[in-house]
């Protein structure tokens, strides 16, 4: 069997990337992925696993000649150090813990924060690298997926070699490394979206969406602890700190203020190009403040409001007075709830079915010209809008990303649609700050229908084997 026919085989086509890799050279892998030429090569014996070196060596280890020469992809899957980190569990945190720790900041606590981030980042990255390794071969060889994989591996290697931080000077050097990698990883969201959508025919949609949700939620978790430490490091040098801000966390978040900020941005962007529909805000507009990372809520609310405005303008393009977008705020002892409803025509059954999907090539086509994305409301000021023109340049990832943001701290986002009339979105945001960050994306159980005459149980729960290894 030649190389091309092997990967088209129904038996081997879905074997994991890392299982097949040790048997082929890097040249062959590139040929399979990009040129589909046939090669043959004798098999090699995969090394057995053993205990890895200490987790954080005081000094970077001396690399052997073999290790220095291992610039090929093969070393990614034979590196026993990765197994050591994958076996370790992530240590999640809550907003309340971050606030309590940051409010009593001193030099000792700042060093503890640095070492917590230093310990956590390589572990969290290692779990995601393992997810990449367990993708089907043809998916893992996609150039967009490979680019992100290489970025993660390079970051993992840098983070795991950072020695324990003991002084503020060492912390400053570590912060410089964090800032550099945060900037370099702005390409992750566009590259992942393009890669997974291009491979839609090679991976079941449920697995593709599981992979993307896991990657994006883990990405948020790493950026939260990284940016929190960077903000604390900067505030430790600033004597004029705002008491309401603890690092990146705002202790006086107010839903009405957040909504008004998003509305103002939308009205500014539409100024001179279209008549913006009115906004009606009602409900408990005076509910108390709460603690949260306000940027997360702003992103969610902005995406929902901008979608409502865009569809309202399109559905009522011949109406000089488009109907309003209604926003209702309410709260209870544990949650803030926001409902956004519009009369933008709703969604077709096909659009509603794929609302949270990452496997549509057409949906993410705009990322071909927008190479970086931080998923923050601030960058909306830089991305051109074209709601009234022939081309709609919205990126297509706003709703899936909003769902990831909402669920990260234990909240949720639900959307209901009435085709031909409009759409309603419901946001629930925990207000107590005691929810542990929700890092792992749990795959929903699928139900297989079994006729009553074949089984006493009409419905049987089937948990499909996951390709993701977690």
Per-residue confidence (pLDDT) for residue 150, from 0 to 100 = 94
Per-residue confidence (pLDDT) for residue 386, from 0 to 100 = 43
CA quadruple 455, 456, 460, 465: dihedral sign = negative
Per-residue confidence (pLDDT) for residue 320, from 0 to 100 = 84
Per-residue confidence (pLDDT) for residue 12, from 0 to 100 = 40
Using only C-alpha atoms, the chain has a radius of gyration, in whole angstroms, of 24
Per-residue confidence (pLDDT) for residue 354, from 0 to 100 = 86
Residue ranges, comma separated, of all CATH 3.30.565.10 domains in the chain are 248-430
pLDDT digits (tens, 9 = 90+) for 109-168: 999 999 999 999 999 999 999 999 999 999 999 999 999 999 999 999 999 999 999 999
Residue in 139, 163, 182 with CA at minimum distance from that of residue 375: 182
Say which residue, 404 or 461, is predicted with more confidence. 404
When the pLDDT of each residue in the chain is averaged and rounded to a whole number, the result is 78
Contact at 8 Å (CB) between 52 and 80? Answer: yes
Per-residue confidence (pLDDT) for residue 235, from 0 to 100 = 87
Residue in 142, 124, 126 with CA at minimum distance from that of residue 17: 142
Tell me the percentage of the chain whose pLDDT exceeds 90: 55
Contact at 8 Å (CB) between 324 and 277? Answer: yes
Residue 268 has pLDDT above 50, yes or no: yes
The CATH code of domain 248-430 reads: 3.30.565.10
Residue the block writes with tokens 């009205």: 267
Per-residue confidence (pLDDT) for residue 389, from 0 to 100 = 38
Per-residue confidence (pLDDT) for residue 49, from 0 to 100 = 38
Burial class (CB in 10 A: 0-12, 13-18, 19+), 321: exposed
Q: How many residues does the chain have?
A: 470
Q: Strands (DSSP E) along 171-308, which ranges?
A: 245-246, 249-253, 279-283, 290-292
Residues 6 or more apart in contact with residue 362 via CB below 8 angstroms: none
Per-residue confidence (pLDDT) for residue 288, from 0 to 100 = 80
Buried b (16+ CB within 10 A) or exposed e, 352-361: eebeebbbee
Residue ranges, comma separated, of all CATH 1.20.140.20 domains in the chain are 49-61+71-245
Per-residue confidence (pLDDT) for residue 284, from 0 to 100 = 83
Going by pLDDT thresholds of 50, 70 and 90, the confidence category of residue 363 is confident
pLDDT digits (tens, 9 = 90+) for 367-393: 777 788 888 887 776 655 444 433 445
| Bridge partners, residue 418, by sequence | 422
| Bridge partners, residue 329, by sequence | 283, 338
User: How far is Cα 54 from Cα 12, in angstroms, rounded to an integer?
Assistant: 37
Residue 448 has pLDDT above 50, yes or no: no
DSSP at 283: E
Q: Please give the backbone phi and psi of residue 268, each rounded to the nearest 5 degrees, phi first.
A: -65, -40
Contact at 8 Å (CB) between 248 and 233? Answer: no
Strand 459-462, strand 446-449: pairing: antiparallel
CATH architecture, domain 49-61+71-245: Up-down Bundle (1.20)
Per-residue confidence (pLDDT) for residue 153, from 0 to 100 = 94
Q: Please state the rounded mean pLDDT for residues 93-98.
A: 94
Q: Please state the rounded mean pLDDT for residues 211-226.
A: 95
Cα torsion for 307, 205, 4, 24, to the nearest 10°?
A: 100
Weakest mean pLDDT among 43-57, 219-233, 246-260, 453-467:
453-467
Weakest mean pLDDT among 29-38, 137-146, 170-179:
29-38
* Sheet with 249-253, edge to edge strand ranges: 245-246, 249-253, 290-292
Per-residue confidence (pLDDT) for residue 376, from 0 to 100 = 83
Q: Please state the rounded mean pLDDT for residues 202-223.
A: 93
Q: Please state the rounded mean pLDDT for residues 195-200.
A: 90
pLDDT digits (tens, 9 = 90+) for 337-361: 999 999 999 999 988 988 888 887 6
């Amino acid at each position: 069997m030649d190389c091309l026919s092997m990967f088209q085989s129904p038996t081997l086509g879905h074997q994991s990337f890392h299982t097949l890799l040790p048997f082929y050279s890097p040249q062959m892998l590139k040929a399979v992925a990009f040129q589909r030429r046939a090669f043959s090569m004798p098999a090699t014996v995969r090394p057995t696993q053993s205990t890895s070196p200490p987790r954080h060596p005081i000094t970077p280890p001396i690399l052997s000649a073999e290790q220095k020469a291992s610039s090929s992809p093969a070393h990614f899957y034979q590196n026993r150090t990765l197994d050591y980190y994958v076996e370790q569990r992530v240590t999640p945190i809550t907003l309340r813990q971050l606030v309590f720790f940051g409010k009593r900041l001193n030099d000792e606590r700042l060093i503890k924060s640095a070492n917590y981030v230093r310990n956590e980042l390589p572990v969290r990255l290692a779990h995601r690298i393992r997810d990449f390794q367990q993708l089907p071969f043809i998916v893992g060889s996609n150039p967009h997926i490979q680019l992100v994989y290489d970025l993660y591996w390079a970051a993992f290697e840098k983070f795991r070699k950072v020695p324990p931080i003991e002084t503020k000077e060492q912390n400053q050097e570590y912060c410089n490394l964090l800032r550099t990698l945060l900037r370099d990883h702005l390409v992750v969201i566009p590259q992942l979206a393009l890669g997974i959508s291009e491979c839609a025919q090679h991976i079941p949609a449920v697995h593709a969406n599981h992979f993307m949700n896991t990657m994006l939620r883990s990405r948020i978790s790493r950026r939260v602890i990284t940016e929190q430490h960077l903000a604390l490091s900067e505030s430790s040098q600033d004597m004029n700190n705002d008491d309401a801000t603890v690092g990146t966390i705002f202790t006086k978040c107010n839903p009405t203020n957040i909504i008004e900020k998003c509305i103002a941005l939308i009205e500014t962007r539409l100024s001179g190009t279209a008549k913006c529909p009115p906004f009606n805000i009602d409900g408990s507009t005076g509910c108390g403040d709460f603690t949260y990372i306000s940027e997360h809520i702003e992103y969610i609310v902005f995406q929902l409001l901008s979608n409502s405005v865009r569809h309202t303008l399109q559905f009522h393009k011949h109406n000089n007075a488009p109907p309003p977008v209604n926003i209702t705020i309410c709260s209870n002892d544990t949650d803030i709830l926001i409902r956004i409803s519009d009369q933008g025509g709703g969604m077709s059954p096909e659009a509603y079915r794929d609302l949270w999907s990452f496997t549509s090539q057409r949906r993410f086509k705009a990322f071909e010209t927008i190479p970086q994305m931080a998923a923050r409301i601030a960058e909306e000021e830089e991305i051109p809008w074209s709601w009234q023109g022939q081309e709609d340049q919205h990126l297509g990832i706003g709703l899936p990303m909003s769902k990831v943001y909402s669920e990260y701290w234990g909240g949720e986002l639900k959307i209901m649609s009435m085709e031909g009339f409009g759409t309603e979105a419901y946001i629930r945001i925990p207000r107590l700050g005691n929810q542990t960050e929700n890092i792992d994306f749990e795959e929903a159980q699928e139900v297989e229908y079994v006729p009553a005459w074949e089984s006493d149980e009409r419905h049987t729960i089937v948990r499909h084997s996951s390709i993701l290894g977690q």
